[in-house]
Amino acid sequence: MTLWLVPLLPMLAGIAIAAFGPQSRRALAAISGGVLAATLILAVLAVAGGWTGALDWGGGIALTARLVPLSALILVMVPAVALPVTVHAALHEAQRGLPRLVGLMLLFTGGMVLVVAAADLLTLLIGWELIGACSWALIGHDWRDRDNPASGLYAFVMTRFGDLGLFLAAMAAFGATGSFAYDALGGLQGPVLLIVAYGVLLSAASKAGQVPFSPWLFRAMAGPSSVSALLHAATLVAAGAYILARLHPVLSAATGWSVTVLSVGLATALAGGIVAVLQNHAKRLLAGSTSAQLGLMFVATGSGYPGVAALHLVAHAFYKAPLFLAAGLAGDRAGTYALDRLRLGRVMPLVAGAAAVAALALAAIPPLGGAWTKEEILKAAEAAGPWVAFGVVAAGAMSAAYATRFLLLAFGIGKADDESPAWPEIVGPLALSAVTLILSALWLGPVSGDLAALLGIALPEGSRFWLALSLLVVALGGASGVYLSRESPDLGTAGTAAAAADWLGLPTLVFRAVVQPFERLATSAASLDTRAVDGGIRATVTLMEWAARTSQRFGEAATDGLPEGTARLTSLAGRDLRRLQTGMSHHYYAYLVGGLALIIVFLALGA
């Protein structure tokens, strides 16, 4: 079988549903769920059967798909997370435009599967661009609200800027090797290797919401909560961390690349943690935590353990998706995402339970699987140096603080309400949180050891000191979250905290350092275009009009005068010649005699 079947199934089905899908929620849920279940089965069969795919375009250009153990893990994870999220969207999101929403989510999933299955930069680019375009359409899904398309465009432009790095990397690789294949990248060295390595890093950082690209994740919250869950857990954002882990063996040879990846990740993990702790908007808090958690994955990859980053990517997907779905249910019920106005634990106890499991995993509370993968990242950071390990510990403390604050404010004990969400709306969060509970088995040595051996992942060695310090700091972070939720439930709504909660002023910096200069440049270019280009055109038009008037005045006299003068002369000559035609024979005899006389004279003169 061909590996192309795995991405093509959700892609084609998504296009068909968006164009011709039924309006019935249950029908949409059944069809999309069936498609993603089939995609998951195909993914498992592809991994077990070692499926590949190839399409030769000629001239050294070919699309190839092949799995390595790391990509096989993510290939199964993507449809496994997308299945409950998409079904939840079909059963819960607003009815207007629902087939289009569900269809685009399937197309989004297919694009991510293509990114994972790709074995060359060209195939990667196709999937990369597809998920970027889908994210724009999904964020701006409710286009009747003008802010939503603007937010989608903001996210699209910022990630597109990073995409230039991947295009540059692909062109440099093909120019140096004559191939886009990942396998050919191993032969790169010198400046070409630097271009490829840092081009991929630029693109990955923009997709993963790393500093300085982080603010687009807040704008992406304009989309439906199901879109946020899919985007943050298994598709667009995850693509950035995945591609660095996938290409680490070849890109890590570039000078300074690993240190740069580690630095970007650690800076984002700390900044994202601060932002999430201060944030009062439920979805934005989770978005800040996504940047921070992806930053930890960058740290693991930069430290030389891409497999650990991939394991944390999987754990993160299964606990972040239910958190977004739960936040969406809470926000829809309360009519707001302000954390200090929720406390819906009694209103939706089952949702609160699912959110509790996911939030504790986000806080890295043992024995949940998210805690195990975070501690493995700490071990990887310890291998990179004590300061890196300390940074990861600090990021872990903030994770516990914002996860606890989110849980207590969003699903704390509040007013009772007889109406709870219908069971179809809570199946998705419950199923995803159940997987998070299952991943707790990773704390068992034989389970984690066998999994690492199966995937060919090297697990780092760590000291008990850092583990003990990490667990202590996580407990302190959790206690801080409890304190903040009780004493400052409205933290981040005003003053310095509100300003810092907006990515520490980074959006303002981006606006002043990037947007405003480009707007001035565009204004200057428009002025130059008006004065120089348009002025030249207007001057040319004026000159042509003058030439036309001049030619009309003098040219017509010359051009019309010549034929008219000739006609007059001909007419006069005709009238004069007509006088000779008298009809009298003696006149004609005189003409003949005169003619003969002239001939004799000419002959005499010629002689």
- CB contact burial 442-479 (16+ within 10 A = b; e otherwise): beeeeebeeebeeeebebbebeeebeebbbebbeebbe
> Do 40 and 166 reside in the same domain of the chain?
yes
CA–CA distance, 284 with 220 (Å, rounded to integer)? 9
The upper half-sphere exposure of residue 394, i.e. CA atoms within 13 Å in the direction of its Cβ, equals 16
Q: What percent of the chain has pLDDT over 90?
A: 66
pLDDT of residue 509: 79
Residue 607, in any domain of the structure? no
> Do 207 and 295 reside in the same domain of the chain?
no
Mean pLDDT of 451-480: 93
Question: What band does 363 get if pLDDT is binned at 50, 70 and 90?
Answer: very high
Candidates 344, 278, 323; CA nearest to 494 is: 278
Question: What band does 581 get if pLDDT is binned at 50, 70 and 90?
Answer: low
**pLDDT at residue 553 greater than cutoff 70:** no
> Do 394 and 481 reside in the same domain of the chain?
yes
> Do 143 and 28 reside in the same domain of the chain?
yes
> Do 28 and 155 reside in the same domain of the chain?
yes
Domain that residue 401 falls in: 261-304+316-501
Residue listed under structure tokens 């062109």: 171
Q: What is residue 2's three-state secondary structure?
A: strand
- Of 501, 529, 557, which residue is a domain's last? 501
Mean pLDDT of 306-328: 96
pLDDT of residue 579: 64
- Of 501, 532, 553, which residue is a domain's last? 501
**DSSP characters for 503-562?**
GGGHHHHHIIIIIHHHHHHHHHHHHHIIIIIHHHHHHHHHHHHHHHHHIIIIIHHHHHHH
Residue 419 has a CB neighbour count (10 Å cut-off) of 8
For residue 58, the cross-strand partners are: 61
pLDDT of residue 591: 66
Mean pLDDT of 566-584: 66
Positive or negative CA dihedral for 531, 533, 534, 535? positive
Q: What is residue 438's three-state secondary structure?
A: helix
Residue 237, in any domain of the structure? yes
pLDDT of residue 601: 75
**DSSP characters for 12-76?**
HHHHHHHHH--S-HHHHHHHHHHHHHHHHHHHHHHHHHT-BEEEEEETTEEEEE---HHHHHHHH
What spatial distance separates the first Cα and last Cα of the chain, rounded to whole Å? 110
Residue 602, in any domain of the structure? no
Comparison of pLDDT for 312 and 580, the residue scoring more:
312
CB 495 within 8 A of CB 210: no
pLDDT of residue 125: 96
CA–CA distance, 34 with 45 (Å, rounded to integer)? 16
CA–CA distance, 524 with 513 (Å, rounded to integer)? 17
CB 376 within 8 A of CB 366: no
CB 273 within 8 A of CB 399: yes
CA–CA distance, 56 with 68 (Å, rounded to integer)? 21
- CB contact burial 273-293 (16+ within 10 A = b; e otherwise): bbbbbbbbbbbbbbbbbbbbb
**pLDDT at residue 356 greater than cutoff 70:** yes
Question: What band does 469 get if pLDDT is binned at 50, 70 and 90?
Answer: very high
Mean pLDDT of 454-478: 93
Mean pLDDT of 549-573: 67
> Do 430 and 293 reside in the same domain of the chain?
yes
**pLDDT at residue 398 greater than cutoff 90:** yes
> Do 543 and 403 reside in the same domain of the chain?
no
pLDDT of residue 539: 77
Residue 506, in any domain of the structure? no
pLDDT of residue 295: 97
Residue 95, in any domain of the structure? yes
Comparison of pLDDT for 540 and 479, the residue scoring more:
479
Helix (H) or strand (E) holding 153: helix 147-177
> Do 27 and 114 reside in the same domain of the chain?
yes
> Do 247 and 267 reside in the same domain of the chain?
no
CA–CA distance, 571 with 565 (Å, rounded to integer)? 10
pLDDT of residue 606: 66
Residue 534, in any domain of the structure? yes
Q: Which residues contact 134 (CB under 8 A, 6 or more apart)?
A: 104, 107, 108, 111
Q: What is residue 359's three-state secondary structure?
A: helix
Preceding peptide of 212 cis, ω within 30°:
yes
Positive or negative CA dihedral for 40, 124, 103, 362? positive
List the structure tokens of 291. Answer: 């940047």
> Do 293 and 412 reside in the same domain of the chain?
yes
pLDDT of residue 598: 74
Number of domains in the chain: 3
CA–CA distance, 65 with 60 (Å, rounded to integer)? 16
Comparison of pLDDT for 415 and 49, the residue scoring more:
49
**pLDDT at residue 4 greater than cutoff 90:** yes
Mean pLDDT of 182-203: 94
CB 203 within 8 A of CB 168: no
> Do 491 and 377 reside in the same domain of the chain?
yes
Candidates 240, 249, 247, 257; CA nearest to 294 is: 240
Q: pTM of this prediction?
A: 0.86
Residue 393, in any domain of the structure? yes
CA–CA distance, 293 with 462 (Å, rounded to integer)? 20
List the structure tokens of 102. Answer: 């569900």
Comparison of pLDDT for 201 and 595, the residue scoring more:
201
Question: What band does 477 get if pLDDT is binned at 50, 70 and 90?
Answer: very high
List the structure tokens of 148. Answer: 């939503």
Mean pLDDT of 205-233: 92
Residue 603, in any domain of the structure? no
Q: Tens of pLDDT along 98-113?
A: 999 999 999 999 999 9
Q: What percent of the chain has pLDDT over 70?
A: 91
In this structure, what DSSP letter does residue 183 have? G
**pLDDT at residue 208 greater than cutoff 80:** yes
List the structure tokens of 165. Answer: 């790095």
- How high is the mean pLDDT of the chain? 89
pLDDT of residue 496: 87
CA–CA distance, 481 with 28 (Å, rounded to integer)? 40
Residue 164 has a CB neighbour count (10 Å cut-off) of 13
CA–CA distance, 577 with 579 (Å, rounded to integer)? 5
Q: What is residue 280's three-state secondary structure?
A: coil
Please state which of the ranges 308-312, 417-421, 447-451 shows the lowest mean pLDDT: 417-421
**pLDDT at residue 85 greater than cutoff 70:** yes
> Do 392 and 451 reside in the same domain of the chain?
yes
Residue listed under structure tokens 């990037």: 514
pLDDT of residue 558: 61
pLDDT of residue 390: 95
Comparison of pLDDT for 309 and 517, the residue scoring more:
309
